[in-house]
Amino acid sequence: MIVLHRGAKAKADDGFAAGFPDPSKLLTWLSHDRAVIKLRDMAELADQRPALAAVIHAWVERL
């Protein structure tokens, strides 16, 4: 499990989640500023590697 967040304190809902690109549907949103990526095993990680890299790169760019 990988947890992506926007900081220790909750942020106001600024549309971050609604406009976030996730064409592979890897993200499960826990709130408007926090999401998780759940991968079953190393095989799934290997299969999803390009999509995972794209999601993480997009997340960091938007921080």
Question: pTM of the prediction?
Answer: 0.86
Which residues are within 8 A (CB) of 58 and not within 5 positions of it... i.e. 6 or more apart?
20, 21
Percent of the chain with pLDDT over 90: 89
48, 26 contact by CB (below 8 A): yes
6, 34 contact by CB (below 8 A): yes
Mean of all residue pLDDT scores within the chain: 94
28-53 pLDDT, tens per residue?
999 999 999 999 999 999 999 999 99
- The closest of 26, 32, 19, 16 to 47, measured between CA atoms, is 26
